[in-house]
Amino acid sequence: MIQWKSNYRIPSEETINESSSLIQDNTIDSDSTVIGLENLETYYSELSQPDLAEKEELEKKGEFSDIENNPHVKYIYDSILGTNLQAKGSIVNGFEADAPKVLVVDDNAASRMTAVALLAMEGYQVIEAESGATAVDLVNHKQPDLILLDVMMPEMDGFEVCQIIKQDEQTRLIPVIFITALNDRRSRIRGIEVGADDFLSKPFDRVELAARVKSLVHQKRLNEDLDHAEKVLFSIARAIESRDPNTGDHCERLVSLGQAFGEYLNLPRHQIRDLMWGGYLHDIGKVGIPDAVLLKQGKLTPHEWEIMRGHVLIGEKICQPLRSMRGVIPIIRHHHERWDGSGYPDALKGNEIPYLAQVFQIIDIYDALTSERPYKQAYAPIEALKVMQEETEKGWRNPELMRLFADFINYCESR
Ligand SMILES: [Fe+2]
């Protein structure tokens, strides 16, 4: 079910008049900057003749437009890449330095001690719990790298313990191996339902136990590194948003609008996730744009525009090391392309523009139009759609997608 509803409030008569004059005189770029049409034309015509003196001046001040030499971008890129490189090797990842911690949970002391002895022989730190409740407590306090969990225990059984662990954001990445009786099909199915990562049968085969534990601990550390890298990116994106006083909660709104429009279009789940992540990350490359350009009051010079336009390439470079960003990168790189090929960075035309980037651009512009900014009032949904329709007629957007978006907004506003 689509949950989105615009937060637009009907403005005063004076505001409507102001907005109307904006519609006639200006067009709005999805970087949230109102640009006069004339200015935009001037910009395109002058692109091939950069102002060299101005460029040299910026470079002297350390405000580089070259991605490779931009110190902010290089630092972030190296940090993310460093995390990944570490994740690829067990030695640099600390496997040798600190032995992985395994929690063995079993109410049967003899069985528990067998597992403890085998794991200790393999060099693991082992902690024990004789009940489900103790296990949950230890998981929270000791943060083990893996849990070996008996299914049948009095009071809280293994399924309940696993469910609690997998539902908690802090512990969900810890792999759980269920200890079941051989051929206990029902327990295995139930185990899969509550998020078990693997199964072992008693009596333990030492080689099998060692192999499974090693593989899952390794996988867990890889996941943790990726999880950490993603969190770093989202934090950077939030920091950039707070650096730009013009945008308010633009990213948050894009996330909910992206989810709602994605559902309306019946996009697959992973594409809806990419759209939502795009909401946070599309302008992450602005971290590499100097304050003198990003926060400049008034019109940007042609060279400053050139620098500003670099944010899409910087963003792509920052996110490239992460596999989980594969679906978001086309949004980051292409959210300023235009249907007629007049956009950037690649001047792609029509369906050469990745579909999610087309979808994202539409919601990005709609949100910029319907939000209040220091230099303009919020447009009413109908006014925003009118501006976007005019831009579509100029050839800037996919007409079919624009029609679907207008239907979507009208549907949301009519509820
Ligand atoms: Fe952008």
Q: What is the 3-state secondary structure (H, E, C) of the chain?
A: CCCCCCCCCCCCHHHHHHHHHHHHHEEEECCCEEEEHHHHHHHHHHCCCCCHHHHHHHHHCCCCCCHHHCHHHHHHHHHHHHHHHHHHCCCCCCCCCCCCEEEEECCCHHHHHHHHHHHHHCCCEEEEECCHHHHHHHHHHHCCCEEEEECCCCCCCHHHHHHHHHHCCCCCCCCEEEEECCCCHHHHHHHHHCCCCEEEECCCCHHHHHHHHHHHHHHHHHHHHHHHHHHHHHHHHHHHHHHCCCCCCHHHHHHHHHHHHHHHCCCCHHHHHHHHHHHHHCCHHHHHCCHHHHCCCCCCCHHHHHHHHCHHHHHHHHHCCCHHHCCCHHHHHHCCCCCECCCCCCCCEHHHCCHHHHHHHHHHHHHHHHCCECCECCCCHHHHHHHHHHHHHCCCCCHHHHHHHHHHHHHHHHC
Domain shared by 298 and 276, yes or no: yes
pLDDT at 72: 60
pLDDT at 49: 36
User: Which range, 157-166, 215-224, 226-235, is most confident?
Assistant: 157-166
CA of 412 to the centre of ligand 1 (A): 26
Please state the rounded mean pLDDT for residues 285-306: 89
CA of 347 to the centre of ligand 1 (A): 15
Tell me if residue 28 falls in helix, strand or coil: strand
Please tell me whether residues 314 and 205 are part of one structural domain.
no
CATH number at residue 218: 3.40.50.2300
| Residues 6+ away with beta carbon under 8 Å from 6 | 370, 381, 409, 412, 413
Give, as residue ranges, everything with CB less than 5 Å from ion ligand 1.
31, 283
Q: Are residues 54 and 102 located together in one domain of the fold?
A: no
Cα of 336 vs centre of ligand 1, distance in Å, is 7
User: CA gyration radius for the chain?
Assistant: 27
Residues 274, 356: Cα–Cα separation, whole Å: 8
358 pLDDT above the threshold of 90: yes
- Choice among 3-7, 198-202, 228-232, 316-320 with the minimum mean pLDDT: 3-7
Tell me, yes or no, whether 214 and 322 share the same domain. no
Centre of ligand 1 to C-alpha 281, Å, is 10
- CATH for 282: 1.10.3210.10
Assess if residue 233 is contained within a domain.
Answer: no
Q: In terms of domains, do 173 and 265 share one? A: no
Distance 181 CA to ligand 1 centre (A): 56
User: In this structure, are 380 and 253 located in the same domain?
Assistant: yes
CA pair distance 363, 368, nearest whole angstrom: 9
The answer on pLDDT for 217 being more than 60 is yes
User: What digits encode the pLDDT tens for the residues 41-100?
Assistant: 232 333 333 444 555 555 555 544 555 566 666 656 555 555 443 333 233 333 344 688
pTM over 0.85: no
Ligand 1 mean position, distance from CA 54 (Å): 23
Q: How far is CA 175 from the centre of its chain?
A: 24
| 202 and 162 share one domain | yes
pLDDT (average), residues 223-244: 75
Confidence (pLDDT) at 35 = 36
Is the same domain home to 258 and 406? yes
Q: pLDDT by residue (tens digit) across 141-172?
A: 888 999 999 998 998 999 999 999 999 878 88
The fraction of the chain above a pLDDT of 90, given in percent, is 41
- Within a domain: residue 3? no
Q: Are residues 146 and 287 in the same domain?
A: no
Q: Is the pLDDT of residue 18 over 70?
A: no
d(Cα 175, Cα 145) in Å, to the nearest integer? 7
Q: For residue 364, how far is its CA from the centre of ligand 1 (angstroms)?
A: 9
- Considering the domain boundaries, does residue 214 fall inside one? yes
Calculate how far, in angstroms, residue 335's C-alpha sits from the geometric centre of ligand 1. Answer: 6
CA of 243 to the centre of ligand 1 (A): 15
Is the per-residue pLDDT at 183 higher than 80? no
Predicted pLDDT at 147: 95
CB < 8 Å & 24+ apart, contacts of 163-171: 163/194, 163/195, 164/136, 165/136, 165/139, 165/195, 166/194, 166/195, 168/140, 170/140, 171/139, 171/140, 171/143
Confidence of residue 305 (pLDDT cuts 50, 70, 90): very high
Shared domain check, 192 and 144? yes
* pLDDT of res. 321: 82
Residue 58's pLDDT is what?
A: 52
pLDDT for res 135: 95
Q: Is 24 inside any structural domain?
A: yes
Q: From the CA of 305, how far away is ligand 1's center (Å)? A: 12
Q: What is residue 49's DSSP assignment?
A: S
Q: How many domains does the chain have?
A: 2
In a domain? residue 237: no
Is residue 112 over pLDDT 70?
yes
Q: Are residues 33 and 75 in the same domain?
A: yes
Whole-number Å distance, alpha carbon 254 to ligand 1 midpoint, is 13
**Sequence letter at residue 273:** R
Distance in Å, CA 283 to ligand 1 centroid: 5
Asked whether residue 7 is assigned to any structural domain, the reply reads: no
Q: 60 CA to middle of ligand 1, Å?
A: 26
- 285 and 180, same structural domain? no
| pLDDT classification of 341: cutoffs 50, 70, 90 | very high
**What's the domain range around 157?**
95-224
In three-state secondary structure terms, 200 is strand
The mean pLDDT value of the chain amounts to 79
